[in-house]
Each structure stands twice: as structure tokens, then as C-alpha cells.
């Protein structure tokens, strides 16, 4: 039967996601040596085409599919198989052949390998329903194994983790979270016991294990007799499955029923005497797994900017098609104002993130200066937390640009928001990362001093252009954060803790502005004012998030909701 009425809204569409993206293209043109960029262009264009075309269509078709746990075979044997969705199977193939994990480990590109890898991840992520999650952990596992130099484990796993052959490539899990929680990892309950043959066996429950289909995982457990806390844990390698159908003693209890990332087969596991090998010693597990955390936090930031960009690409397309009150939305001043504000946030987040990517590459290739290393330690929590907050508000606002259609599942738009909401949560919540940032500053605030030095370099790069003022304002933001920090460190430690998030966000936004100013200065020379306009708008949103409200007020407001007044005024 024909629907009544003659109007049907034209849905948004996507073009080549590399060709259409002036931000990533402008950035790559500014930072990468021309001979490298020319080599990369074809690969990036191909991925941009798939991301805006074939993969995007497949993502919409795959919308209702979810991974399925098959606990038993037809004859009652426990198999705990997880069946993945068609989109994820295709994503796994592309991830291997495109070298989404392999690229920085292949050597030929040196530190630039990280830039190419993450430019690809940025194009791949928003059309593949968070297949970036297992890839992030795989990258983190390869980096962690290489850092610790356990040659047997390196030989066994790293060639697999970094393979470009879809048949050979392994992904890796990272099993940290237990029922005791995901933040305070030091109170983990899993025990490691040596059996009579001297093998280590793990007993415990892992409460939130993404990438449960991976053939290996890195995890933490407490060797018997070790003290409490993170220092008493050890980092273990677990082979989950192997040749000829061999399976370790691991039971999949159930898959998690999550708000988003529905394609990610996150599971609860019982380690029932699972065989494991220590990666590096039998203590200091939390410290030993930090290379993993720093890599996955960088992935998290790249996925955040990528999701912001996708939501904006769709909203921009829709704005040109949607006619209301007699004109397309793209002619409406308030709609343009809204989109421009979102673009400014995304653009600043983009440059902050790729600065972290550059520094990670330089650090891994021993090319980073002392200042850059100090900067990177602080930047990793800062960029993860800053972009994690941005992505939820940007994507939420972007789907509002579709009106009711943004709230309807089969447009594919609500997925954007659900999948964004995980980004400030996993890999360290905003508050946990804010506390990590305080630690990462060093006793004398060396991290912040390094930030300021890097920021001043951007001011010099923008000198004599209209963008100089932006860079200067970014440096001033860092200086205000520094003054706050000095006062807070001299005062009540609880007030310092209470202000940690405001400090982190101020530092993140100020540094982002300096980096955007550098890009703006470069673009101005080529006649493109858009990065400058983005920087001005971002500045207008404000850099400062520094708080100075009395602690007692927070306690009264946060917890006390009794109707009666404790003592009459």
C-alpha cells in the first residue's frame, strides 16, 4: 500500500571520508614529509571510500545483529563459543590487511608509523561498530610485551599480533576489571598458584573482558603470599585457545548487556585454574600493565575525534537536505551557529589527539626529548579525558540536529551516542584520569612545565600571524592552571583532589588551542581561514574549568537530601 502524503525526507549520506575531511588532510600535509604523504594517500583514500560507502552501508544493514554466546555444543560439551556479527568479521579482515595494528611495528616508517596507523584508525573506527576495541588492546599487548623483553612471549605472540594476514593475526584481550571494580585495580582478587609441575594457574573472576574471542590476553593476578595492593599483583600472559581446538580452563559466564558497544562481545569470565605465564617478575603488576593503558588511551582519543567527525559529517549532509520553515537548515543562522560550535570543539580535540600520537611514536623510537617524554606522560590522561568529554556532548548535539530522526534507531543515529558514551568511561573514567594527571605532573610540576614549553613552541610557530593571539591565550590558560596548582598544592590535599578534573580540562583545552593555532597559522599561509575561525570559536567556549568552591558545600549538595534542615538558621 502507498504511504499517504508525498513528502519523504532524503537521508544524510557520506562521501569519501578521506577526501571530504579537510582537517585530517590539512594536518597530514602540515606535519608529514611529502614523500611519505604521497605514499600514504592511496591507502587513506581507499579506506575513506570504504568507510563512507561499503562499510557504512554494511553497518546500517548489520544494525540489529549482536554477538552470541554458544555455551554448549549439541551434545552437551561446554564450548563457550562466541559468534561474531558479519560486520565485525569484515572489520577483522580489513584491520589485518590495512595494518591497523601492524603499521607502527613494521619499522619502515619509524615514528611516523603511529601517525599513519592512527590516521587509518580515524577513518576506520566510525563504520565498524567499535572493532577498534580489540585492536586497541592488541596494540597495547604488543607494546607491553616488547617493553618487558620476555623473548619467549615476544616470539610467540608479537608476530601474530602485528600480522597483516587475516588468517594469522591474533587479537589480544586485556583483563583487568574484577567485581571489585575497574578503577582500583590494586584490590583485584584473582590468585595465581603454582601447581606441582611449576606451572602458574589463575583462579578468579574477570568481570568486564572485552575481546573475549581473542586467542590470548594479558591479565593481573596475585601470586600466593604476595602483599595486598597493585605492587603485589603480577602481569600474566594467558593463552586462551590454541591449535587443535585446545582451550584453557576459562569459562564464559555470560555476555554483558551494555548501553552501547553492542557488537563488542564483552564477557564475565571464570578463570578456573587457567594456565598462565608471568610476563615480567612476580610483583608490580599494575606498573607493568601501564604500557597497555597508555596505548589504549591513545586509541580511545582517536576514536573520540573520529566519532565527533562522523556525527558532524552526517549532520552537515542533512543540513543541506532538510528544508524547514521555508529554507534548508544550511541557510538557518542558528543551525549554522550550532554546527560551527561543534566543529570547533572537534577540531581542537583532533589536534590535541594527534599531538599525543606524534609523541607516542617519537617516544617508542627513542626520538623524544626529555620535555616531550614528560609532556607525553601528562598528555595521555589529559587527551583521553578531554576528548572523552567532548565526544559525548558533540555527538549528543549532532544527533539533535536531526530532530526526532536522531532519536529513531533505524536511522543509525542513536548508535553514535551510545557508542560515544563508553569513551569517557572505559580505560579510566574522567575522574580517575584526572587523579592520574596530578600524579603525572611530577613533584615539581615538571609535566606542566613541559606542556608550557611545547605550547610556547606553537606560539613561535604562529608568530606574526592572526593565529598568534590564540596560541598566546592557550599559554595563558596553562599559566593560570599552573598558578591554581601551586596554590592547591600548598593547601588542603582534599581541595587539590576536588579540583583535579577542572585542572585537567583546563590544561587539555589550553594545549588544544595552542595546537590548533599552529595549524591555523600554517593554513592562513595557504589562504584557508577555517582553522583560525575554529580556534576563535573554541576560545569563545572558554578554556578555564578551574574550580574553587568550598569542599563542605560539595558534601552538602552531593549527599544531603533530607527534607528537614539540620539546624535552624
Binding site for ligand MFK (CB under 6 A): 132-133, 136-137, 174, 176-177, 182-183, 185-186, 208, 210, 229-230, 286-287, 290, 293-294, 296, 299-300, 303, 426-428, 432, 436, 439
Select 254 or 439, whichever has its Cβ closest to ligand MFK.
Answer: 439
Select 111 or 136, whichever has its Cβ closest to ligand MFK.
Answer: 136
Q: Residue 273: helix, strand or coil by DSSP?
A: strand
Select 233 or 516, whichever has its Cβ closest to ligand MFK.
Answer: 233
Select 16 or 387, whichever has its Cβ closest to ligand MFK.
Answer: 387
Beta strands in 327-432 (DSSP E): 327-328
Select 188 or 411, whichever has its Cβ closest to ligand MFK.
Answer: 188
Q: Residue 495: helix, strand or coil by DSSP?
A: helix
Q: How far apart are CA 13 and CA 68, in angstroms?
A: 31
Structural contact between residues 202 and 233, judged by C-beta atoms closer than 8 angstroms: no
Number of CB atoms found within 10 A of residue 555's CB:
10
Instruction: Give the shortest CB-233-to-ligand MFK separation in angstroms.
Output: 8
Instruction: Give the shortest CB-279-to-ligand MFK separation in angstroms.
Output: 15
Instruction: Give the shortest CB-205-to-ligand MFK separation in angstroms.
Output: 14
Q: Please report where in the chains the cell 583545552 appears, as a residue.
A: 509
Instruction: Give the shortest CB-384-to-ligand MFK separation in angstroms.
Output: 9
Select 230 or 406, whichever has its Cβ closest to ligand MFK.
Answer: 230
Select 170 or 299, whichever has its Cβ closest to ligand MFK.
Answer: 299
Select 176 or 238, whichever has its Cβ closest to ligand MFK.
Answer: 176
DSSP state of 444: T
- Diameter of the chain measured on Cα atoms: 80
Number of CB atoms found within 10 A of residue 564's CB:
4
**Residue 227 burial (CB < 10 Å; 0-12/13-18/19+)?**
exposed
Number of CB atoms found within 10 A of residue 460's CB:
12
Instruction: Give the shortest CB-173-to-ligand MFK separation in angstroms.
Output: 8
Q: How far apart are CA 176 and CA 454, in angstroms?
A: 34
Select 95 or 471, whichever has its Cβ closest to ligand MFK.
Answer: 95
Instruction: Give the shortest CB-137-to-ligand MFK separation in angstroms.
Output: 5
Instruction: Give the shortest CB-125-to-ligand MFK separation in angstroms.
Output: 7
DSSP state of 493: H
Instruction: Give the shortest CB-303-to-ligand MFK separation in angstroms.
Output: 4
Select 210 or 214, whichever has its Cβ closest to ligand MFK.
Answer: 210
Instruction: Give the shortest CB-501-to-ligand MFK separation in angstroms.
Output: 14
DSSP state of 104: G
Which helix (H) or strand (E) element contains residue 11? Answer: none
Structural contact between residues 236 and 219, judged by C-beta atoms closer than 8 angstroms: yes
Instruction: Give the shortest CB-562-to-ligand MFK separation in angstroms.
Output: 33
Number of CB atoms found within 10 A of residue 463's CB:
12
Select 12 or 447, whichever has its Cβ closest to ligand MFK.
Answer: 447
Which helix (H) or strand (E) element contains residue 529? Answer: none
Instruction: Give the shortest CB-296-to-ligand MFK separation in angstroms.
Output: 4
Q: How far apart are CA 60 and CA 137, in angstroms?
A: 26
Q: How far apart are CA 497 and CA 475, in angstroms?
A: 23
Could you tell me which residues are beta bridge partners of residue 237?
218, 277
CB-closest chain residue to ligand MFK: 230
Select 153 or 267, whichever has its Cβ closest to ligand MFK.
Answer: 267
Q: How far apart are CA 92 and CA 39, in angstroms?
A: 24
Q: What is the chain's Cα-based Rg?
A: 24
- What nine digits make up the cell of 449? 612545565
Structural contact between residues 376 and 356, judged by C-beta atoms closer than 8 angstroms: yes
The closest of 242, 262, 260, 291 to 142, measured between CA atoms, is 291
Q: How far apart are CA 200 and CA 273, in angstroms?
A: 8
Select 211 or 348, whichever has its Cβ closest to ligand MFK.
Answer: 211
Q: Residue 13: helix, strand or coil by DSSP?
A: coil
Select 422 or 520, whichever has its Cβ closest to ligand MFK.
Answer: 422
Beta strands in 151-215 (DSSP E): 172-175, 191-194, 200-209
Structural contact between residues 26 and 523, judged by C-beta atoms closer than 8 angstroms: yes
- What nine digits make up the cell of 470? 590564540
Instruction: Give the shortest CB-239-to-ligand MFK separation in angstroms.
Output: 19
Instruction: Give the shortest CB-210-to-ligand MFK separation in angstroms.
Output: 4
Contacts of 106 (CB under 8 A, 6+ apart): 99, 113, 162
Instruction: Give the shortest CB-319-to-ligand MFK separation in angstroms.
Output: 28
Amino acid at each position: 500500500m502507498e504511504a499517504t502524503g508525498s513528502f519523504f525526507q532524503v537521508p544524510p549520506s557520506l562521501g569519501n571520508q578521506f577526501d571530504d575531511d579537510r582537517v585530517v588532510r590539512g594536518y597530514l600535509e602540515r606535519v608529514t614529509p611529502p614523500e611519505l604523504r604521497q605514499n600514504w594517500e592511496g591507502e587513506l583514500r581507499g579506506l575513506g571510500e570504504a568507510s563512507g560507502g561499503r562499510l557504512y552501508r554494511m553497518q546500517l544493514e548489520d544494525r540489529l545483529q549482536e554477538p552470541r554466546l554458544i555455551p554448549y555444543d549439541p551434545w552437551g560439551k561446554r564450548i563457550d563459543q562466541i559468534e561474531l556479527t558479519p560486520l565485525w568479521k569484515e572489520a577483522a579482515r580489513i584491520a589485518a590487511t590495512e595494518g591497523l595494528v601492524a603499521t607502527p611495528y613494521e619499522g619502515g616508517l619509524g615514528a611516523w608509523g603511529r601517525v599513519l596507523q592512527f590516521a587509518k584508525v580515524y577513518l576506520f573506527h566510525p563504520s565498524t561498530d567499535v572493532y577498534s576495541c580489540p585492536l586497541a588492546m592488541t596494540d597495547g599487548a604488543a607494546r607491553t610485551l616488547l617493553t618487558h623483553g620476555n623473548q619467549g612471549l615476544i616470539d610467540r605472540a608479537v608476530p601474530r599480533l602485528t600480522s597483516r594476514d587475516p588468517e594469522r593475526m591474533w587479537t589480544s584481550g586485556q583483563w583487568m576489571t574484577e567485581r571489585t571494580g575497574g578503577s582500583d585495580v590494586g584490590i583485584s582478587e584473582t590468585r595465581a598458584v603454582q601447581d606441582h609441575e611449576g606451572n602458574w594457574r589463575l583462579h578468579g573472576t574477570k568481570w568486564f573482558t572485552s575481546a573475549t574471542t581473542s586467542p590470548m590476553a594479558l591479565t593481573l593476578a596475585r601470586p600466593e603470599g604476595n602483599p595486598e595492593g597493585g605492587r603485589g599483583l603480577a602481569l600474566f600472559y594467558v593463552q586462551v585457545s590454541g591449535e587443535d581446538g585446545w582451550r584453557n580452563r576459562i569459562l564464559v559466564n555470560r555476555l554483558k548487556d551494555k548501553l552501547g558497544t553492542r557488537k563488542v562481545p564483552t564477557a564475565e569470565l571464570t578463570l578456573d585454574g587457567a594456565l598462565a605465564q608471568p610476563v615480567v617478575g612476580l610483583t608490580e603488576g599494575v606498573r607493568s600493565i601501564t604500557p597497555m593503558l597508555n596505548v589504549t588511551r591513545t586509541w580511545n582519543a582517536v576514536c573520540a575525534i573520529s566519532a565527533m567527525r562522523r556525527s558532524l559529517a552526517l549532520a552537515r549532509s542533512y543540513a543541506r537536505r532538510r528544508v524547514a520553515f521555508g529554507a534548508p537548515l544550511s541557510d538557518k543562522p542558528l543551525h549554522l551557529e550550532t554546527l560551527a560550535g561543534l566543529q570547533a570543539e572537534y577540531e581542537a580535540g583532533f589536534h590535541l589527539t594527534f599531538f599525543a600520537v606524534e609523541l607516542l611514536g617519537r617516544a617508542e623510537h627513542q626520538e623524544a626529548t626529555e620535555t616531550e617524554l614528560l609532556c607525553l606522560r601528562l598528555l595521555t590522561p589529559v587527551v583521553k579525558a578531554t576528548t572523552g568529554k567532548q565526544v559525548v556532548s558533540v555527538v549528543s548535539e549532532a544527533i539533535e540536529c536531526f530532530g526526532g530522526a536522531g532519536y529513531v534507531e533505524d536511522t543509525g543515529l542513536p548508535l553514535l551516542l551510545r557508542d560515544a558514551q563508553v569513551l569517557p568511561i572505559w580505560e579510566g573514567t574522567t575522574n580517575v584520569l584526572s587523579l592520574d594527571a596530578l600524579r603525572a605532573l611530577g613533584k615539581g610540576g615538571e609535566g606542566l612545565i613541559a606542556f608550557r614549553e611545547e605550547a610556547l613552541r606553537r606560539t613561535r610557530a604562529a608568530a606574526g600571524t592572526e593565529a598568534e593571539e590564540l596560541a598566546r591565550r592557550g599559554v595563558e590558560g596553562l599559566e593560570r592552571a599552573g598558578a591554581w596548582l601551586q596554590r592547591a598544592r600548598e593547601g588542603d590535599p582534599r581541595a587539590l583532589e576536588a579540583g583535579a578534573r577542572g585542572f585537567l580540562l583546563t590544561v587539555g583545552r589550553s594545549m588544544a588551542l595552542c595546537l590548533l593555532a599552529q595549524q591555523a597559522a600554517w593554513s592562513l599561509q595557504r589562504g584557508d581561514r577555517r582553522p583560525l575561525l575554529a580556534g576563535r570559536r573554541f576560545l569563545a567556549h572558554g578554556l578555564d574549568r578551574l574550580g574553587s568552591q568550598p569542599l563542605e558545600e560539595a558534601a552538602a549538595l552531593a549527599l544531603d537530601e533530607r527534607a528537614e534542615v539540620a539546624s535552624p538558621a
